[in-house]
A and B are shown apart, each in its own frame.
Chain A
Amino acid sequence: MTKAMIQIFQTVGRATLGVQISLLMLLMLCGMAIFGPLVSPYGETKIVGSAYAQWSSEFVLGTDAIGRDILSRLIYGARNTIGIAFIGTTLAFLIGTALGVSSVLAGGWVDQLLGRIFDMLIAIPQLIMALLVLAIVGTSVETLIGVIAVVDSTRVYRVARAATLSVAVQDFVESARVRGESMRTILFGEVLPNVTLPLFTEFGVRFSSVFLFISSLSFLGLGVQPPFADWGSMVKEYAPLLAFGKITPLIPAVTIAALTISVNVVVDWALRLHTAGFGR
């Protein structure tokens, strides 16, 4: 195990500064999300001071309109936003990949039917669709994740289907078919290992966009609901402070940007490493 660790450190050591910074940033933000309650000075919804307290040693980033600690809310916000984005994207991938791959392997009318359904879903603008559904069923964490999973799975379906299509025509898949292998073995043994690369890239891109999507929804008041913290709604909440020359509202905006950029840089880097590994 230690050998693998050393190898990982060496690989990271060889990466460019940008990649190293992005990795550090991701680790920090994910650490915040995972260990939030342990590191945050106060509770997420607890009123701990007077409204709009200045930056001080007691409240590092000051307090908000009703006296909640902003740093604590930022840390809890990481947990909510990243968590929802991660679960939503993962679900979208499970749905999209499963349907995309089986659509190709089944072929015929199954492929046609699924293809048309997803075409229909993709034709509706993402944000409008989400607003509509959330307006109908009401906003909660579960519905938010559900909406993201469904809306995003349409994109994943397309990528998965295209990637599978180029693998499925290869002789080794045909060979497995005439050998008499079950659909399951062909799917998990032959096809999936060969589509992970494009899907992994897509995961990075989709995660970033889902993350931004939640932030926009929250900014519009349809995402994570108060009193729970979320980076998007924090930007909205603190926006008036900008008029007083405070930079506090920019901090959640910066963390949003930092996470999105870091994810993209790291995914690009991993991809380059992987393709270089193929050449050997």
Chain B
Amino acid sequence: MNATEPSVLTISNLTVEAQSQGAWSPIVRDVSFSLKRGEVLGVVGESGAGKSTVGFSTLGFVADGCRIASGSVIVDGTDLATASDAVCRQMRSTKVAYVAQSAATAFNPAHRLIDQQIEIMVGRGLLSQQEARREAVSIYSRLGLPSPQTIGERYPHQLSGGQLQRAMIAMAIAARPVLIVFDEPTTALDVTTQIGVLKLIREVITEHNAAALYISHDLAVVAQMAHRIMVMREGNVVEEGDTRQIMGAPRHEYTRSLWSFRNLRKQYEPPLAEDTTRRPVLKLNDVSAQYGPVMAVDKASFEVGAGQVVAVVGESGSGKSTLARVVAGLKNTCHGGIISDSGELPDDYRRRSMKQLREFQIIYQFADTALNPRHTVRRILEAPLKLYFQMSRRARVERISELMTLVNLDPGIYLGRRPGELSGGQMQRVAIARALAADPKLIICDEITSSLDQLIAAEIIALLRRLQREKHLSYIFITHDLGVVSAVADRVVVMQNGIIEETGNCETVLDAPTSDYTRRLLAAVPQMDPDWLTATLAQRRTA
């Protein structure tokens, strides 16, 4: 980086406003920064902080119902805040490229990859059809996509998540842009896939000597990728500085609170001593389940003790969600037994008794689809009370406000609201309250924090942990986030390809794993240390 080199991107005093009920209110306030070639700025914050809005502005784009109220966005000499749509369109992809979080929805499912890849080059008349195809193949091979000669002929659904994300990066660099905006590019990927994509993004930035904006809520990831970090909250820049300085000595309190989520484990007391006098609430005996010929779960055995938290971890496709469905009775088994403290359970929920159903409750990943959008919070919480306890109206009202207080929701405010009028965290609290309403012994938590912001996720986990102690509950925590595991779990079950690789106490498994797979999984979890990625990649090369 040369100090005299001109900036590729200069944003000064950018304010973006959104219209709600006729009035304009700012969603991004007075943001200024500049980027040179080869430089990466990490943008960190919760959802709604305005990260993506800043990212979009570099494309001269604002979402519907929004406008750039003041300030300038100068990309390679052109101010996109005031430029016409035609100019902005010309700049997109050729000067500025955008890599979105969900590659699966960013691609048009009806067209072959290569047609989408070359569209911009051919459409702008930069290359002929043949040249563009040759170029595309060479990009595919450089980005390490399998069989680069033919992969372009496939449709998006024929690729895995990690491959699609690579294909999208390939599309972004096709026209050799000077600025690339990465908007949560690895959030939807599991840790082992993520590491490969991170490496690739790093290489692409260096190779093209492009400037980059790296937007993410995951601090550890940003720490690996960015030279500088900008922390945003509610549309304002809270803090900006050199990565090492921000990671090492954050000045602002909000930044520090973001950091603390990573260190959740330290805040907790040691796990409760196991109550050996009581039988386990759940015991799986050699349970297998299959989808067609594929063994999704293969001879799984483990126990969940009373008051114990068991985390089931693994990459996507490892069978951990199927395991959860087997326990819930939603997936039929082909072998083995599911045993609760009162005896063996039928594998199909339809054949389980009301009492058996009541004892196991599920909390889903997406609270917005797990709660009926047409029902009020009151009605959602009433359902299990009516069903399991035949409570009178008066008793229900009392119990509902008790439940809501338990999950820190004010009944006076939220009782009459529908899920659409709640935030993500609040919806998840309602879902937790609904599970508690059944007075269960075991709650199955299926990736419940992965669609929430870190701070909200930390609150939810703290809440679950508190409830567990108060109510002596057991949890099965299905997750791919090992940070969550260390925060909640007493025991860990590691799964790969439907097989349980390792089972053990949380500390033992995380600190001294015995299986190779667990070791690899743990090594792939980004650490807050900015040198972690470099070190890990170097280690891999020598190994």
Which residues of A are interface residues toward B (Cβ below 8 A)? 170-172, 174-181, 189-190, 193-194, 278
Contact = CB atoms under 8 A, between A and B. Distances in A.
Given A172-B372, A189-B372, A278-B420, 6 more contacts: A171-B366, A171-B369, A172-B371, A180-B354, A189-B383, A193-B374
A177 B348 CA distance: 11
Contacts of A181: 383, 387
Contacts of B304: none
B383 A176 contact: yes
Contacts of A278: 420
B542 to A, nearest CB: 45
A194 B373 contact: yes
A190 B372 contact: yes
B328 interface: yes
Contacts of B349: 177-178, 180
A225 to B, nearest CB: 44
A171 B374 contact: no
Interface in B329-369: 329-330, 349, 352, 354, 357-358, 360, 362, 364, 366, 369
B370 interface: yes
A75 to B, nearest CB: 40
Contacts of A180: 349, 352, 354, 357-358, 387
A190 B375 CA distance: 8
A257 B387 CA distance: 51
B438 interface: yes
Contacts of B71: none
5 tightest A-B CB contacts, nearest first: A193-B374, A171-B370, A180-B357, A172-B372, A171-B364
Contacts of A176: 383
B400 to A, nearest CB: 16
B420 A178 contact: no
Q: With a 10 A CB-CB cut-off, give which of A179, A181, A190, A194 has the most chain B CB atoms.
A: A179
Interface string B422-439: 000000000000100010
B387 A172 contact: no
B540 to A, nearest CB: 38
B26 interface: no
B328 A178 contact: yes
A180 B372 CA distance: 16
Q: With a 10 A CB-CB cut-off, give which of B328, B358, B360, B372 has the most chain A CB atoms.
A: B372
Contacts of A175: 362, 364, 370, 434
B196 interface: no
Interface string B311-335: 0000000000000000011100000
Nearest to B379: A189
Contacts of B358: 180
A117 B186 CA distance: 48
A170 B372 CA distance: 9
Given A172-B371, A194-B374, A179 B387 contact: yes
B384 A170 contact: no
A175 B328 CA distance: 10
Interface string B467-507: 00000000000000000000000000000000000000000
B21 to A, nearest CB: 9
B369 A178 contact: no
A174 B219 CA distance: 35
Contacts of A174: 330
A157 to B, nearest CB: 22
A194 B418 CA distance: 13
Contacts of A172: 369-372
A180 to B, nearest CB: 4
B374 A179 contact: no
Contacts of B383: 176, 179, 181, 189
B526 to A, nearest CB: 29
23 contacts: A170-B369, A171-B364, A171-B366, A171-B370, A177-B349, A178-B328, A178-B330, A178-B349, A179-B383, A179-B384, A179-B387, A179-B438, A180-B349, A180-B352, A180-B357, A180-B358, A180-B387, A181-B383, A189-B372, A189-B375, A190-B372, A193-B375, A194-B372
A174 to B, nearest CB: 7
A194 B360 CA distance: 27
